[in-house]
Structure 1
Amino acid sequence: MRKKEYLHHYLSWMTFCLVFSMNAQNTISYEISQLPAATISKNNVEFKDSLDNSTNLPIVVIKGKEVGNTLTILAGVHGYEYPPIIAVQEFLKEIEPEKLKGNLIVIPIANKASFYGRSPFKNPQDEVNLNNAFPGKLDGTVTERIAHYITQNIIPISDVFLDIHGGDASEDLIPFVCYYNNEAKSKATANAKLLSESSGFPNVVSYPYNIKDNEPAKYAFKQAVQDGKIGISFEAGALGNVQEEAVRLNKNGIYQVLKQLEMYPSEIDLPKKLVKYNNQAYIKVPVTGILYSELRAGDTVYKGQVVGHITNEYGEVLKKIRTPETGTILYKIGTPPVNQGETLMCIGIPLE
């Protein structure tokens, strides 16, 4: 059986199972069932916590002309990651429901307080990182309640879950698509790999899946993977800026995923060569201080190489940084301030 046929049969089986597992109180599920074919619906889900913080979650539901799979697109988990947000804005202006087979659930900005507050990583209302909050809490802070809502209401009715990120205010990175190698759910993993390699991203990263089913997933698309869904994530854009190339890559990636799922036509050219990374090495910040490094994301580094140093506020060198492995810098801290324990650099080790 060809890869695309395998993916189609697997998703058909997933859709069959979901019909019998939907909760009657699931408002998004109900919304989809009530919408006429080829329709776009815009929704706002309100959240308020015991600290009097309040926010809302914008959700766009697009029902295609024909019955098919359900793809969820999540952007703005980190509100300072602008290229994914702008890419989704453009996509929503372009999508034609009459050409769509199946359903789209689109969350264009998951963390509105972070976005409008220009706050990297955390929601400034409760100081919680949404991408560290899954599966969330029904009675938690507003951020934890958003995570709980997505876990309970969005992921269960999704066949494929696409989580789109970019470089936050301090992050320099190369564009890549990633998936988790969840050996316990081999069918979903195989299809996540197929979608990743067909997404149009030149770099494909496989992360190890090392949590149990009863452990917090923390990350949005890792929660989807834990729940047995096909989950992938895009990373494009750097240092809290809107780069046109990153916007284009994110948007084209959405179209490519839709094409592979046979949900929407696309004629976008794919890269001629894919670089695959199945292992990673991490450098943690050894001491709080000021980072000096001439290296950028995408540079090749070699085991034992000095990749930078950290000084105190007087410019005195506190620590030299050496790399533990040979590989490519997938992402790194790209601004001077660093705090002990943070991930300074992630080195991808190419698959030979």
Structure 2
Amino acid sequence: MIRTQLTKLALALVLTITSLPLRAQDNFKETFAETNRPASQNIRVTLTDAQDRAATVPITILKGKKEGPVFTILSGVHGYEYPPIIAAQELIQELDTDRLTGTVIIVPIANTASFFSRTPFKNPQDDVNLNRAFPGDASGSITQKIAAMFTTDIIPVSDVLLDIHGGDANEDLLPFVCYYNNEQKPEQTQLARKLSKASGFQYMVTYPYTLKDTDPAHYAFKQAVQDGKTALSIESGKLGNVQKEAVASIKKGVYQMLHKMEMYQTKSSPEKPIELNGQAYVKAETKGVFFSDLKAGDSVKKGDILGHTKDEFGNTLAEIKAPQSGIILYKIGTPPVNVGETVFCIGYNR
């Protein structure tokens, strides 16, 4: 008798739960629209494509006591770039909504499938690189749906989008902050420059912006720039590891940007950065085993031998020379190399 009553009670509970509407905390737009302040909410947005591949995107929305700008932090677009992910988690725990003016949106792991499968660059579910998928496609594969959700739901409500990256599994990288020089949007570009200078990073990189309104942006923060937002990116961390100093520099950069926007008061001591407004990408011309004694941050001169590619037996196939004098922003830090891959990126002043 008791077992029968418990069974009926359990069945009634299941029917009640399944008949409830979707919870607001599982829907970004509804959660963001809530007016309670201060507030801190963690949600998981679940997306499914036509092949029944599912993705869950964790998002934190922090609302300060007073209304103000919306500052969005995106990390984990590449799931093997760990320092940005750890920094985002720590920021979620540390930011005090009582001290915050405006709203901070944090996506700690944009590409959870890549993260949990330890897959560099691409989402293993559909073999698509999320940072080449923007603006996305709401009816496309799972990675395209993730990009579309960011493009249609999160970027439009953001005043500033900070896209945080680091050296992936095979990349040795010099920490830097960067933004696009979009001359068509001078106000947004000027703010991106001010925030970059305030971040405290030693190196500030400016990319040319030649994107047309109808061109696919591919990159997350380039999509935000195309959509008329202020957007910039931090690169910190390397070789698929968590370096404490990389996590600390990311967090310092975020705090000082929020301070600059008068959203969060903190100690601010930015140093004048070294500006690099040109980039030379050195591509591998042969498939083989890559060797180089250089590291990210080293200065090179035009014509210097940067490294070699060798065959499986150790025979030299090709020399790799510097096409431009400057400083190595990032390089391949592991031996395998394929034709057309970027083995070095050299930053310089035009």
TM-score by structure 1 length? 0.90
Q: What are the Cα deviations for residues 144-167 of structure 1, in whole angstroms up to 9, with x where unaligned?
A: 100000000000010000000000
1:243-279 C-alpha deviation (Å, 9 max, x unpaired): 00000000111111111111001114323x4110011
The alignment-based identity, stated in percent, is 52
Quote the Cα distance in structure 2 between the aligned partners of 1:33 and 1:125. Answer: 31
In the TM superposition, residue 29 of structure 1 has moved relative to its aligned partner by: 4.2
Q: Counterpart in 1 of 2:342?
A: 343
Cα separation, 2, equivalents of 1:65 and 1:32: 15
Q: In the alignment, what sits opposite 1:303?
A: 302
Partner residue in 2 for 1:233: 233
Q: Is the 8 A contact 1:159 1:230 kept in 2?
A: yes
Q: Quick one: which amino acid aligns to residue 118 of structure 1?
A: R
Q: Deviation per CA, 1:272-297: give whole Å up to 9, x if none.
A: x4110011111011111110100000
> C-alpha distance in 1, partners of 2:172/2:28?
36
Aligned mates of 1:303, 1:195 — CA distance in 2: 32
Aligned to 1:79: 79
In structure 2, distance between residues paired with 1:135 and 1:242: 30
Alignment of 1:103-182 (within 5 A): 103-182=103-182
- Contact 2:185 2:228 survives alignment (8 Å): yes
CA contact (8 A) 1:302 1:327 kept: yes
- In structure 1, distance between residues paired with 2:195 and 2:95: 20
Which residue identity lines up with residue 152 of structure 1 in the other structure? T
User: Could you list the runs of 5+ residues in structure 1 that have no partner in the other structure?
Assistant: 1-26
**For the residues of structure 2 that align with 1:64 and 1:237, how far apart are their CA atoms?**
30
CA distance in 2, matches of 1:173, 1:31: 37
Q: Which amino acid aligns with 2:231?
A: G
User: For residues 191 and 86 of structure 1, what CA distance do their matches in structure 2 show?
Assistant: 26
Aligned to 1:314: 313
Q: Which amino acid in the other structure matches residue 78 of structure 1? A: H
Q: Alignment length, in residue pairs?
A: 325
State the Cα distance separating 1:47 from its structure 2 match: 1.1
**Counterparts of 1:336 and 1:210, CA distance in 2:** 34
For residues 108-151 of structure 1, give each alpha carbon's deviation from its aligned partner in whole angstroms, at most 9, with x where no partner exists.
Answer: 10000111100001111111110000000011111110000000
1:275 to 2:289 alignment: no
Name the CA distance, whole Å, in 1 between partners of 2:35 and 2:317.
Answer: 61
> What corresponds to 2:3 in structure 1?
none
Partner of 1:92, secondary structure, is helix
Superposition map of 1:28-43 within 5 A = 28-43=28-43
- Please report how far the alpha carbon of residue 314 of structure 1 lies from its aligned counterpart in structure 2 after TM superposition: 1.5
How big is each residue's C-alpha offset from its partner over 1:185-227, in whole Å with a ceiling of 9 and x where there is no partner? 1111111111101111110000011211100000000000000
- TM-score, reference length from structure 2: 0.91
Equivalent runs, 1:198-217 vs 2, <5 Å: 198-217=198-217
Listed as ranges, the gaps of 5+ residues in structure 2 are 1-26
Counting only pairs closer than 5 Å after superposition, residues 41-60 of structure 1 correspond to structure 2 as 41-60=41-60
Q: Following TM superposition, by how much is the alpha carbon of 1:45 offset from its aligned partner in structure 2, in angstroms?
A: 1.0
Residue 100 of structure 1 aligns with which residue? 100
Equivalent in the alignment of 1:6: none
SS in 2 for 1:217: coil
Say whether the 8 Å CA contact 1:275–1:350 is kept in structure 2.
Answer: no
Aligned to 1:324: 323
Shift of 1:33: 2.9
Deviation for aligned residue 1:50: 1.9
Describe the SS at the equivalent of 1:295.
coil
Counterpart residue type for residue 330 of structure 1 = L
Report if the CA contact (8 A) 1:29-1:157 is conserved. Answer: no
Structure of greater Rg: 2
- For the residues of structure 2 that align with 1:29 and 1:71, how far apart are their CA atoms? 16
Could you say what the CA RMSD is over the residues aligned between the two structures, in angstroms? 1.2
Q: Does 1:264 align with 2:264?
A: yes
- Which position in structure 2 is the counterpart of 1:284? 283
Q: Distance in 2 between matches of 1:313 and 1:108?
A: 40
SS at match of 1:195: helix
